[in-house]
Structure 1
């Protein structure tokens, strides 16, 4: 039976702090294969959730660079997984900036509607959201310092796991 458990935001942020400017050797670095930002976001999500979803094609998991779900490293696929997941793992709702909390995910896009970057929220202040990211490595980078045409805010609601 699936049960909803807490998402450990502090663990996600601590993971981001530790690995923002280096690479965890347990995961492949996709920097030269389209970017490492969503891989890093997934690692942070996993640090906060502790649950992967091994559903073929539509799940969210990483075993190796050649044995992973599209959602682990692909911006659009991570969005689809988080907003549509009814199985194990983290799940999210698309919301607005006022609902952001540390450990949440932001996705940046261009004017055509293509989303290309997945920074992780690490701090929220009344007038600024701060993020961590790979590809353009950052920790505590103000969201306002990014240039983008579109943005979406993904608030992690919780984690489903089998009990």
Structure 2
């Protein structure tokens, strides 16, 4: 059988395929360029918004904060009102503590961007560093970081970019009410304290501390890429990852052995491993830990100076522990600092975000 090949048609076909490939490749390049440009623009927008907002929070500048929000919608009003409450809380807490915030800076990592109604919907991670000094020790600067996960709508008006809606895991949501706490005696006691030396802690506590610093998520050093340990499931979408992280610190860092009650494997986690209330009960009733103090802030703040790196604080609301943080050090006045997940914290004063009178604290010594 004789097969006749039409060379002209064959060449035309090949050219069509080549043109299609070039077109698709060109489209892909254009898409990447547009995406890169959009990400760059959104990055610049966020940096400007956060720089202005951080300055407003630092200076308690209500007018500057007001100008950042579009209050023509209820979502813009809600976002503004919440930020106002946070600003007032931070300054009331600093008054209680006897400190002055000196600087607030945020590093941003954009995860997703979507064009929306003349602006953008931006999903991003923020790592915010706070620096503070005690009122009688101006030459010693302390630092902590808080990591948050945001979904923010922004649009441009006559004055520039503004926030029309914002949601994020707020570290101060449980404590925007300090009005009833008497500050004078507390401040006096805090300012009388001295720096503590934890250099003689045992090796297991040191390893627990290293793990806590490495995997505290959006609050960790940038070199750790703001990630949790990927060996473990992130339980934040299921109600919170704080007890899971505390358990990891004790197991991976502190070399505590797993038990039938306290365990994580391919089948998942036991209740004592992943639930804050069950974790606290297990640690105390198993003898792996013991209670230092229990009660509201007025009753336990003096005892908090007994906490050592590797111990933990449990936060109780309405009779149930809802959060766990692990002690990771102390500041220039010996005030205990903690790391945790949910809203990710790195070396944050242990009561910041939890000083509401309705909250009770369990200060717990872990026996390494």
Bucket of the pairwise TM-score, normalised by the shorter protein: 0.7 to 0.9
1:73 equivalent in structure 2: 274
SS of alignment partner, residue 282 of structure 2: helix
Q: Based on CA coordinates, which of the two structures has the bigger radius of gyration?
A: 2
1:70 CA displacement? 0.8
1:60 equivalent in structure 2: 262
What is the CA–CA distance in structure 2 between the aligned matches of 1:7 and 1:156, rounded to whole Å?
14
1:7 CA displacement? 7.0
Stretch of structure 1 that moved more, 20-29 or 42-51: 42-51
What is the CA–CA distance in structure 1 between the aligned matches of 2:232 and 2:268, rounded to whole Å?
11
1:35 CA displacement? 0.6
* Structure 2, unpaired ranges of 5+: 1-201, 218-226, 294-303
Per-residue CA deviations over 1:131-153 (Å, capped at 9, x if unaligned) read: 10101011011113122411001
The reply on whether 1:18 has 2:18 as its aligned counterpart is no
What is the CA–CA distance in structure 2 between the aligned matches of 1:145 and 1:76, rounded to whole Å?
20
The reply on whether 1:39 has 2:236 as its aligned counterpart is no
What is the CA–CA distance in structure 1 between the aligned matches of 2:324 and 2:363, rounded to whole Å?
10
1:136 equivalent in structure 2: 343
2:316 equivalent in structure 1: 109
1:127 CA displacement? 4.5
Task: For CA contacts below 8 A with separation 6 or more, give which structure has more relative contact order.
Answer: 1
Normalized per residue, which structure has more helix? 2
What is the CA–CA distance in structure 2 between the aligned matches of 1:118 and 1:61, rounded to whole Å?
17
1:43 CA displacement? 0.5
* Structure 1, unpaired ranges of 5+: 1-5, 159-163
Q: Is the 8 A contact 1:48 1:103 kept in 2?
A: no
What is the CA–CA distance in structure 1 between the aligned matches of 2:276 and 2:321, rounded to whole Å?
7
What is the CA–CA distance in structure 1 between the aligned matches of 2:263 and 2:203, rounded to whole Å?
17
1:8 CA displacement? 0.8
**Aligned residues: CA RMSD:** 1.7
The reply on whether 1:152 has 2:362 as its aligned counterpart is yes
Q: Is the 8 A contact 2:309 2:329 kept in 1?
A: yes
Q: Is the 8 A contact 1:7 1:48 kept in 2?
A: no
The reply on whether 1:27 has 2:232 as its aligned counterpart is yes
Q: Is the 8 A contact 1:106 1:153 kept in 2?
A: yes
What is the CA–CA distance in structure 1 between the aligned matches of 2:311 and 2:254, rounded to whole Å?
12
What is the CA–CA distance in structure 2 between the aligned matches of 1:73 and 1:11, rounded to whole Å?
21
Per-residue CA deviations over 1:14-65 (Å, capped at 9, x if unaligned) read: 001100012111100001001111100111111333233332xxx211113x
1:123 equivalent in structure 2: 329
